[in-house]
Copies of this chain bind each other. A is one copy, B any other.
């Protein structure tokens, strides 16, 4: 696999300001706002609530923009992100993760439940029992959403066992808020997205039916991922949890989750070497771009200014670019914008984002939840 896709060739990176000290992550606010508005309006039309996943931006700054546009609350992956969001005044947070609540995590979970509308995921009786022990003796209790596996094969119980987990929620004195799934198998390729969205719907429907039959109330039925949130029209979903849509990236554009013309995040990099014929080397390596690469995409990012070029390899501090025969030859010192394969790890690698509008720097934003990964 060493070919760019047709969509790769249409990707548009944010315009770069002059005189950047590279590598640096640039985020175009106009494109961010367009992406937020587009997903909100898509889900408004479907009559589905939007609870964006904040692991993409790790920043209350963007979470507040999503809330202002209509999001009902925020999704996070870890307690550390939840704390950063709650500290910044985000009042409704769901940790979509089967947190094992012992020690420090038990203390932090209890604290979070006391200061915002708070829910946490679970996919096992043991996990729920541990949640119960973690908050025993406290009046502040997290709500629980039970995770079901819709085909990704990662976390999540199945419809046959969901009632058993729900009974454990009751027994632990916690409130069942609903069920959730993540159709992550959508990321296995553009031809998998529609099926994954359908799988989310059918799996959630089966879990919902089992819970209703057993007499449980299930106010929230939550699905999520950027490509399936765009593709899906599935009942009985009441809420979607896409994350990457806020910035977009190369993978999302190829999966139909992002508008290729509206990618809001790029890594600005300098050409530091052209010593090896047919190649150039950029100063944005794996410590800036990460190494995420689905097996259906060639290389580690796209450089729209170098048409036809492929980032063949990334090392800690080098990206090695294979130039096509008709790629304009770059010069040492040129600054280019790299569209990364996956935006989420890029943001987690940098302490700050350079916010721009139309190629002008408007601010430097610290990534407040960077590294808060437990």
Contacts and interface: CB of A to CB of B under 8 A. Distances in A.
Interface in A306-349: 313, 315-318, 320, 331-333, 344-345, 348-349
Contacts of A78: 317
A279 B154 CA distance: 8
B276 A345 contact: no
A8 interface: no
A171 to B, nearest CB: 17
B149 A272 contact: no
Contacts of A371: 349-351, 370
Contacts of A86: none
A238 interface: no
A350 B373 CA distance: 9
Interface in A6-44: 19, 21-24
User: Binding site of A, secondary structure by majority: helix, strand, loop or mixed?
Assistant: loop
Interface string A181-208: 0001000000000000000000000000
Nearest to A314: B292
Interface stretch (A60-68, A119-127, A258-266, A354-362): A119-127
B155 A273 contact: yes
Contacts of A286: 290, 292, 345
Nearest to A126: B332
A281 interface: yes
A283 interface: yes
Contact of A291 (B123, B158, B273, B291): B291
B348 A273 contact: no
Contacts of A270: 100
Contacts of A103: 19, 21
A94 interface: no
Interface size class, chain A? 35 or more
A157 interface: yes
A354 B68 CA distance: 40
A332 B129 CA distance: 11
Interface string A284-297: 00111011110000
Contacts of A349: 348-349, 371, 373
Contacts of A149: 275-276
A52 interface: no
B126 A331 contact: yes
A77 interface: yes
B274 A124 contact: yes
A155 B55 contact: no
Contacts of A305: none
A279 B153 CA distance: 9
Interface of A: 19, 21-24, 55, 77-78, 97-100, 102-105, 123-124, 126-127, 130, 147, 149, 153-158, 161, 184, 270-276, 279, 281, 283, 286-288, 290-293, 313, 315-318, 320, 331-333, 344-345, 348-351, 370-371, 373-374
> 5 nearest interchain CB pairs?
A291-B291, A21-B104, A155-B273, A77-B317, A123-B275
